[in-house]
Amino acid sequence: MFEGSIVATVTPFSDGKLDEASLRNLLKMHVASGTSGIVPAGCTGEAATLTEDERARLLAVCLEEVGDAMPVIPGTGSNSTRETIRLTQVAAKAGAAAALVITPYYNKPTPNGQYEHYRAVAEAVDIPIVLYNVPSRTGVNMLPETVARLSEIENIAAIKEAAGSVDQVSEIVELCDIAVLSGDDPLTLPMMSVGACGVVSVMANVLPAQVAEMVAAFQSDPVRAGQIHHSLRPMMKALFVETNPGPVKYAMAEAGLIASSELRAPLVGITEESKRRMAPILATMQEVLASE
């Protein structure tokens, strides 16, 4: 379950509401493109501004469309342990294959606080838990030693590692046997070279087949994997020209993958300067999509 190209899906909006038609079209695309799993309501899915009802509906649509084709692993984390437990229990009851749980943000818990948070969540459900370490969002890093302690809890099965450090991935792999997933598209191949199993990808929102091919090729044809990485790297950079998911939603709307690039406040659409910077990359992306 915790390998390959897993997509951190955007949440399409229309006039402030969930755009279910666009979402269903995206999910069909991923089923057809070799995507290994779906992560709705993560950072890319603007989870922090979704209501609980929207989270529930988002998960329900994903489960309906994807069926048994791939696991659905919703984001269920918050900066409150009590709320995280409740959201994770709701997801488990709805049929989620696992849950992605971000390190509590704003509070900046100590390593012991992180451990107790995740322990409490894991003990409250019977589905696998994926740790999510993203210091740029949360303000605190989860150390490899903490990950190793948590890996001893039976249903803590994987970590999405987005600290931006290949060395940190190396330490995690050396300390325990938890499944490691890259949380940074540009670092997917370097992380796989030291033991990561795949990626939870933003890039796969726009070029899912190419990301899936790159990750799959790593084992059988690493030269080909490297070629795909280098061909995708300009797009990887372009998708983070501003705060995620602004650029990726803009790219998807331009390519006709979603009806609108609408974001939920306090996020706003990307600037005209960013659009100009992305223009040549988007032209190449649309050529690739048109050739499929």
Sign of the dihedral through C-alpha 204, 209, 210, 212 = positive
pLDDT value of position 76: 98
What number is the average pLDDT over the span 147-167? 98
**pLDDT tens, 128-138?**
999 999 999 99
Backbone phi and psi for residue 131, each to the nearest 5 degrees, phi listed first: -65, 150
Catalytic residue among 105, 115, 118, 132: 132
pLDDT tens-place string over residues 73-123: 999 999 999 999 999 999 999 999 999 999 999 999 999 999 999 999 999
Considering only CA atoms, which of 49, 46, 38, 48 is closest in space to residue 74? 38
- Tens digits of residue pLDDT in 181-228: 999 999 999 999 999 999 999 999 999 999 999 999 999 999 999 999
Strand partners, 130: 100, 158
pLDDT at residue 289 in the model: 76
Q: What is the pLDDT of residue 69?
A: 96
Q: Has residue 286 got a pLDDT over 90?
A: no
State pLDDT tens for residues 236-252. Answer: 999 999 999 999 999 99
Q: Is 132 a catalytic residue?
A: yes
pLDDT band per the 50, 70, 90 thresholds, residue 288: confident
Using CA atoms, how far apart are residues 216 and 278, in angstroms rounded to an integer?
Answer: 27
- Other CB atoms closer than 10 Å to residue 184's CB: what's the count? 23
Selected catalytic residue, list 115, 160, 249, 250: 160
Domain spanning 4-205, CATH class:
alpha beta
